[in-house]
Amino acid sequence: MTHVNTDRLVNHFFELVKIDSESGNEKAIAEAVSEQLGELGFTVSKLPVPEKYTNGFNVYGRLEGTLEGSIVFSAHMDTVSPGIGIEPIIEDGIIRSKGNTILGGDDKSGIAAVMEAVRCLKEQNLEHKTIEVAFTVHEEGGLFGSEYFDMSFIQSDKAIVLDTGGAIGSIVTGAPGQQKIIAKITGRPAHAGLAPEEGISAASVAADAIMNMKLLRIDEETTANIGMINGGQATNIVMPELTVIAEARSLNGDKLAAQVEHMVETFEASAQKFGATVEIESTRAYNAFVIAEDDAHVQQVKAAFAKNGIEAATKHTGGGSDANNFNKKGLTTVNLSTGMAKVHTTEEYIAIDDMVKITDFVITYVSE
């Protein structure tokens, strides 16, 4: 069994989380990670992403192996906000932020694990499979880095994203597709005190539509939510326009299409009922994926965990990740837990022991 250098792993993780990299501002971390991969012997390519999404770039790295086979490890370099000036602290084997920011274990714990694993392989002269890395920008808020990842660089037929929570050994084999719906309702203004009957209230239209809409948990595979409502001018004006921003998700493509159609039709029916108009913009954010339990890739991942004494378990999740886009592009991709917890909050934390375990997994997977 190899021995992870725990202090080096933690120190590198600290170094990564101290680099500010809220979504769209990944230049500094992408440069740092590229340089570090180069020092480890990777051939590194900086892959452009449209400027509207980032001031940085996706990072591709390749380290030739002597064992048969290859694998892509992927993690994203951006964090949600508040992610500026992160100060990590350790309490009883748990890493957290001082409490006024997130920690950034989502997803710098994934980057740190892969790089520590490679350092161990090199130090201990272990033979390994060819390792490819795909570190992405702007995953949070739209999976844009993976959407624009230049797949011509990828030579493996399978990938492992290290970007979810839960017990070490959690393997996400299914995640929903997501549709974003923006409904702009236009009524007619009128003086609310003098002649309200001359107006058409966009608020009434929206209320009627939302009352008649199936929302929140639709079934075990499908959810829908009204996220934002913006509109209005003053209390004495019948509301002339209102924008409703909503989403629907499902593990099943047909169910997602049906839920979206239901939401669109409900908005249109309510607008018609009140004599208002509605403009609807409906866009696919990303597609669902479901990988079979007996898939060879899933079995190999489980076997590597088993060698380390961890009983892995597959699960479906309600959230999207870069795995959605890589699967859509034809790269069979699972998403594994790094032990990150309470992500996207200032209470975010990760156990050092879990970071060591996922690093051990990477070593075992590529070297046996």
Tell me the C-alpha distance between 263 and 215, whole Å. Answer: 9
- Angle between the 253-274 and 202-211 helix axes, to the nearest 10 degrees? 140
Q: Is 220 exposed, middle or buried (0-12, 13-18, 19+ CB in 10 A)?
A: exposed
Helix (H, G, I), strand (E, B) or coil at 360: helix
Tell me the C-alpha distance between 194 and 217, whole Å. Answer: 42
Helix (H, G, I), strand (E, B) or coil at 162: strand
- Please, are residues 16 and 111 in contact by the beta-carbon 8 Å criterion? yes
Alpha helices in 291-334 (DSSP H): 296-307, 322-328
Residues 6+ apart with CB under 8 A from 346: 82, 97, 99, 100, 101, 102
Tell me the C-alpha distance between 123 and 6, whole Å. Answer: 14
The dihedral built from the CA positions of residue 104, 109, 115 and 119, taken in this order, carries a sign that is positive
State residue 85 phi and psi, 5-degree precision. 70, 40
Residues 6+ apart with CB under 8 A from 14: 88
Annotated active-site positions, please? Answer: 78, 139
List strands edge to edge, sheet with 94-97: 88-91, 94-97, 349-351
State residue 141 phi and psi, 5-degree precision. 80, 20
Tell me the C-alpha distance between 347 and 149, whole Å. Answer: 31
